[in-house]
Chains A and B, each alone.
Chain A
Amino acid sequence: MKNALAVLRAERGWSQADLAERLDVSRQTVNSLERGRYDPSLPLAFRIARLFDLRIEDVFDPEW
């Protein structure tokens, strides 16, 4: 599933490590999420959306 994670992170000037710390996951997980190699669980998807103050469907889109 594609997502806007890399763009949203870049807009805020965060590194992958910064985002990983904010989400309490590993940097490897952030990297895999951004590359669309790993689809997050629903709780993690909510955490990501809340962090960027967006809805889940604004961050993740299976149609992308």
Chain B
Amino acid sequence: MDAIESQPADARAAGSRLYGLYVLALALCLIGNLVMREGAQGGWLPPAGQLILALLATAPLVVAALLFWRLLRRDLDEMLQRIVLEGLAFALILYVPLAALYLNIRTAGAWTPRLDPPDILLTPALLVAIGIAIAMRRYQ
């Protein structure tokens, strides 16, 4: 936490660590999702257990989201804020047409890769990373 709260000089490293934490939390969420599905199919995880696991698996992601928001608002300087915001904008702007294209092609009956909810969940995180990399190249 101290690293995240420290001066802007450390902000880039803190941002990288936080992005790693975010991806780790996302991975935990997806593992929880996998265990829930296996448990439901195998019949060894009752519905109440699935619900508890669903909440527990998502909790790290909520914490990571709050930390990310705090880093963005308080700890990054204006240029680093701009880089992150451009990365987020890139991801949002690209994700919607990509998702719409995938749905339309799938609806048209053409071959599409089979995407599970975890794949769809990972796509924005990947797009944010690409967007941040593009913005960093622009400003640095």
**Interface residues in chain A, defined as those with a beta carbon under 8 Å from any beta carbon in chain B:** 17, 20-21, 24-29, 31-33, 37-38, 40-41, 44
Residues of B within 8 A of A24 (CB): 7-8, 77
Q: Could you tell me the dominant secondary structure of chain A's interface residues?
A: helix
Residues of B within 8 A of A37 (CB): 138-140
User: How many whole Å from B74's CB to the nearest CB in chain A?
Assistant: 12
Sorted nearest first, the 9 A-B pairs with minimum C-beta distance are A26-B8, A25-B77, A29-B79, A38-B139, A32-B139, A38-B79, A37-B139, A26-B9, A26-B11
User: How many whole Å from A52's CB to the nearest CB in chain B?
Assistant: 19
Residues of B within 8 A of A31 (CB): 140
Residues of B within 8 A of A38 (CB): 79, 82, 139
**Interface residues in chain B, defined as those with a beta carbon under 8 Å from any beta carbon in chain A:** 7-12, 76-80, 82, 138-140
Task: Report whether A28 and B12 are in contact in the complex, using a CB–CB cutoff of 8 Å.
Answer: yes
Task: Give 11 new A-B contacts, CB below 8 A, not counting A21-B9, A26-B12.
Answer: A24-B77, A25-B78, A26-B8, A26-B9, A26-B11, A26-B77, A28-B79, A29-B77, A29-B79, A29-B80, A38-B79
Residues of A within 8 A of B76 (CB): 26
Q: How far is the CA of A26 from the CA of B11 in the complex (A)?
A: 7
Residues of B within 8 A of A27 (CB): 9
Task: Report whether A44 and B9 are in contact in the complex, using a CB–CB cutoff of 8 Å.
Answer: no
